[in-house]
Each structure stands twice: as C-alpha cells, then as structure tokens.
Amino acid sequence: MNHAMNRSPVQVRIGGEAGQGVILAGVMLAQAAIGDGRKVAQSARYGAAVRGGEATADLVISDTPIDYPHVETPDILVVFSQQTYDKFAPAGTGDTKVFYDPFFVTPSKTAGGSLWEISATEMAIEKFGKSTSSNLIVLGFIAQLTEVVSEESLLAAIEQNLPSRHRAAGLEALAMGKKAAVEAGA
C-alpha cells in the first residue's frame, strides 16, 4: 500500500473491556505505524477495577513529531463495548469512522460519524471456537478500510507480538477482517 507523504495526523481510539485485547490491538497498530515510517503516540486507560473494567487504547499517528500525545477527537473509533460506544461515539455531525462489534454494541440512531459493523466476535467464535482473535479481525478490517497502517507493517507487528503457536491463527484472523472489509464494499 502506498502512503502519500505528509498526510494529516490520524487519531484512533479503541475502546472495550479489559481482557478483550484492546491494548494489545493498540500496541500492534502503533508498531505497524512505526513500520510505515510514521510517528506514533500510544496511551492506554484502564478503569479502577483490576479485572473487567473499561480499557481504552489511544493512538495519534502522524508524519511529523506529535505535540499533544493524547486523542482529542478520534478519526477512527473502534468499540467492543456498549459503555465505550456510549461514552465516545460522536454526537450529531462529525467525520469519525465508528467501527463496532454488534455482539456487544447496539448503535444509537442519534450518534454521528459513519458507522461500520464488523461481527468480529461471532466470526472468531465460528472459526476458532473462541473470541480471542476478534481484535485482530477488527484490525484487518480497519486497515483495509482506512489505510491507517499498511498491511505489511501490520503483518510484521503481529509476527512480533504473537507467540509462534498463535501466529498462524493471528494472520488468518487478520485476513478474515480484510476479506470482510472488501465485501463490505471498500
């Protein structure tokens, strides 16, 4: 995938619950962005609870050094929980691309931005018998649709982060996400 120089910075937020692989998805996206030769600032937020609380990964991706390192208004919002959808989905107008997993989220009619549904949890359970690679399906989906990171860099980031016994499944999950995006009419 070709990247034109000096695209404007992209702000990405991935929200869900601790244990859904939200932070790992953020880290892999950040590594992929660096692989693309870009600057990235990635931060994470957890709720007060150690288990099962809200978890959010934020990224700013830019071709130039990043001043303010946190997300102000996401360009890309990925939500794996109703709670983070309700909290972060833009009200009224806005250019935010919102990606949601219908297994957890029912979007409201009033929220703005453009809405993309990706049944990652269902797809993961159907294919692998458990939901753990749903975060990778979503990454494949948004990489294809938004070109926020290149496919090669994302593949490299997955190789780097997944232990070898999970790698093949990880790459397959990514491909499933990509295919779903193509079918969704990218």
The residues of the shown chain that bind other proteins, judged by CB under 8 A, are 27, 30-31, 34, 39-44, 46, 48, 66-70, 72
Measured CA to CA, the distance from residue 87 to residue 2 in angstroms comes to 34
Measured CA to CA, the distance from residue 137 to residue 63 in angstroms comes to 26
**Closest separation in Å from C-beta 48 to other proteins:** 8
Q: Tokens representing 3?
A: 């990247």
Pick the closer one to other proteins by CB: 70 or 130: 70
Beta bridge partners of 17: 54
Pick the closer one to other proteins by CB: 20 or 31: 31
**Closest separation in Å from C-beta 30 to other proteins:** 5
Please give the biggest Cα pair distance in the chain.
45
Pick the closer one to other proteins by CB: 52 or 69: 69
- Taking the alpha carbons at both ends of the chain, their separation in whole angstroms is 14
**Closest separation in Å from C-beta 172 to other proteins:** 24
| Cα–Cα distances in angstroms (integers) from residue 119 to residues 4, 37, 141, 161, in the given order | 31, 31, 10, 23
Pick the closer one to other proteins by CB: 34 or 125: 34
**Closest separation in Å from C-beta 157 to other proteins:** 9
Q: Tokens representing 90?
A: 């833009």
